[in-house]
Structure 1
């Protein structure tokens, strides 16, 4: 039989769903990502791996896929085209690299790594291996933010003046991995990513860190809250707040010379929600209600397209985000 060309192999691969294995049984995998993957026609969930065989079996059962004991075994499986990595943040770099070296496409939870140089190295490795790497920042795939950017571009609120964003969540059980410094816990890495990425996404320009504070409440070994002040070269400021021991808040406001736009449920908008954007100009207030949009499904579909193309998605944004988070951490540590 003659050897198939690269183009023929790509066509054969693109004719079937991307076969995904999941490294770990984290809550976000069970609650959000696995259901979305199972519903996506371009994806087939073929395996779930855990170091605990019982947990792997329990997680895999609803999807009729294989339970695999150990992450190494899943990466060695030639029937797996891609992997999803929902492990604790401190483990991302190790297992993303292992997956890339096994020639698997990778969708990894945010933050991709805890060091900008490590993030850059993984994207470089993905390019060398000709596989796709994507950081799982889901909210940017929701169409409400496209509507906001269009309003700003059309001058609906005049010239930009400031941006404010909050993402805070209530306290969890004390043994939650978010409070474990050895696993990359802390508010900056968990909830801080959202307002930082929102500032990048909505202001669409380079951002400089002016100041930052990280706060650890008594009894915690990690930062449980924080705030940061950023600015653009043009003088637009961005005030960001994040936390793990707060009342729930998920929002941003963009202020201009003639008005402001506010978005609530900005980062974790449920699939069935009809989001409302509040546009205030002078004494006039408009709240256009948008059609529901499933940001998780959109994320999974985007990853499937990237995997089929063998091209990473969101590399510039992930690198900028990694550098900003690192600067925030360093600035807070020196204050």
Structure 2
């Protein structure tokens, strides 16, 4: 494909309106051609604001010849179902995290994408931010020595009672909503050969979802990751990597504002260095990557292969976490 991919939006979510679609308007490699929502009025409003036409339904959007790829921004438990339908319809797919709530769904989806020669990308923006590129360069340079431990947390304050995060029928709960971020960071820094050594989930009787939790991962070489997540906390968006020679940490790392200049804090011996990273809109960054992958997969093949492998392992680790977790009812 040599022209800009034509994108269809499935699901008129708040995050799509606030961050993704405004970023799309600034991304020359993509253009929005169709919008579908359960509420036709909402679809028409989004189309008027961001471009394209309002489709009559999700199904109708997937049949449109002017849609090459789909951005899927639906509640979590609808991700796998509609990603499968989009791939079956021959559309490339960018899907909000998590791609799948379990390993079986993830394996099926990536197998289908491979059979059809389509891009399937899970939307973890932080992996495309300049902060992550700089951290990766520091690790590759040996600045920390071999990695021995990762600590990571993503926690948010309580939400209004009608928030979708509290709806078990739509895939609510802290593990799927924000626990996948520190899990994904640990996979990147320790590699996919990790297992769940232990986990804890604090489960709400009132809402029927987990409100918070923790996971301990162990790598093949004995390196560990201690991960915390929740939606009943003071806000925290952070990871720390500790090696034999040094430690680095970054705050505001998963949901970095477009105008925020992150700072990597690097400690080696008695020296502490603060490394400023330029501000960047990671919504634009992931959209550029997706557009490039759709047009010319070979140009980003190694990165795309790594992302696919991490998405598959992440979904399997969700299964392991639920199976191993001590569940506390509150």
Normalised-by-shorter TM-score class:
over 0.9
Report Cα offsets for 1:217-259 as digits up to 9, x if no partner.
Answer: 4633100100011111111110000001111000011122333
Work out whether 1:307 is the aligned partner of 2:294.
yes
Distance in 2, matches of 1:31 and 1:21, equals 17
- Are residues 1:178 and 2:171 paired? no
Provide the residue aligned with 2:197 in structure 1. Answer: 210
For residues 183-215 of structure 1, what are the alpha-carbon distances to aligned partners after superposition, in whole Å with 9 as ceiling and x for unaligned? 111111010100000001122351111000110
Match of 1:331 among 312, 316, 324: 324
Q: Structure 1: 5+ residue runs without aligned partners?
A: 1-12
Q: Does 1:169 align with 2:156?
A: yes
Residue in 1 that maps onto 2:180: 193
Aligned match of 2:264: 277
1:116 lines up with 2:109 in the alignment: no
Write out per-residue CA displacement over residues 94-121 of structure 1, whole angstroms, 9 at most, x where no aligned residue: 1111111111111111111112111111
- Asked if residue 66 in structure 1 is aligned to residue 53 in structure 2, the reply is yes
In 2, the alpha carbon distance for the partners of 1:77 and 1:205 equals: 38
| 2:143 is the alignment partner of 1:156 | yes
Whole-angstrom CA distance in 1 between matches of 2:6 and 2:122? 18
Q: Supply the distance in 2 between the matched residues of 1:149 and 1:85 (Cα, whole angstroms).
A: 29
Instruction: Compute the TM-score of the two structures, normalised by the length of structure 2.
Output: 0.93
Does the 8 Å CA contact 2:8/2:67 hold for their aligned counterparts?
yes
Of 67, 72, 77 in structure 2, the residue corresponding to residue 90 of structure 1 is: 77
CA distance in structure 2 between the partners assigned to 1:150 and 1:197 by the alignment: 18
**After superposition, where does 1:122-141 map in structure 2 within 5 Å?**
122-141=109-128
Residues 1:106 and 2:93 are matched in the alignment: yes
The CA distance in 1 between the partners of 2:127 and 2:90, in whole Å, is: 27
Q: Is this contact kept in 1: 2:192–2:310, CA < 8 A?
A: no
Cα contact 2:195–2:219 (8 A) shared by 1:
yes
Gaps of 5+ in 2: none
Shift of 1:40: 0.8
- Is contact 1:105-1:310 (8 Å) kept? no
CA distance in 2, matches of 1:144, 1:105: 27
| Structure 1 position 35, deviation (Å) | 1.1
- Conserved 8 A contact 1:51-1:69: no
